[in-house]
Amino acid sequence: MARTIVDIKEKTETAEERGFNFWTDKMPCWEVSHCTNMVKSECPAFKYPFLPCWEIEGTYCKLDDYGADGKDTSICEMCRVYKTYGGGRPIQLKLMGRGINASLKSLEEIVKS
Ligand code: SF4
């Protein structure tokens, strides 16, 4: 398990360093979903385009008004973005702690201190 996490971390860092963009020649999820500039400025799918949105914890669409932590990818399995570009591969989160939920927690901590 630890080895898998290290492997994923190394692969994502390498892809990010190389400037890889998953969305090249594809319609990005924020265009499919008509996300506002405000959502794009916070959503990790827009900030970290080297991974497909379904592999990123805490994207805008993984959250809800009832305290979802952004790790549940069941919404992605029904989404046309994943169905179009996911190739039927099982979903595995590869980027954690960068989501909108994490930004909000940081803000809460700053306000409390
Ligand atoms: S529901 Fe999932 S696959 Fe669809 S746009 Fe959001 S993060 Fe991407």
The vertex-52 CA angle with 49 and 56, nearest 5°, equals 90
The stretch 20-42 carries a mean pLDDT of 96
pLDDT band at 105 (very low <50, low <70, confident <90, very high): low
Q: How far is the CA of 57 from the centre of ligand 1 (A)?
A: 10
Report the pLDDT value the prediction gives residue 78, as an integer from 0 to 100: 96
Residues 6+ apart with CB under 8 A from 7: none
Q: Which residues line ligand 1 (CB under 6 A)?
A: 29, 33, 45, 53-54, 59, 61-62, 75-76, 79, 81-82
Provide the pLDDT for residue 94. Answer: 96
Cα 52 from chain centre: 7
- Asked if 110 contacts 70 with a C-beta cutoff of 8 angstroms, the reply is no
Tokens representing 15 are 């892809």
Residue nearest to atom 1 of ligand 1 (CA): 76
Residue 52 has a pLDDT of 98
Confidence band (pLDDT; 50, 70, 90) for 64? Answer: confident
21 CA from centroid of ligand 1 (Å): 16
- Give the pLDDT confidence score for residue 29 in this predicted structure: 97
Burial of 1 (0-12, 13-18, 19+ CB in 10 A): exposed
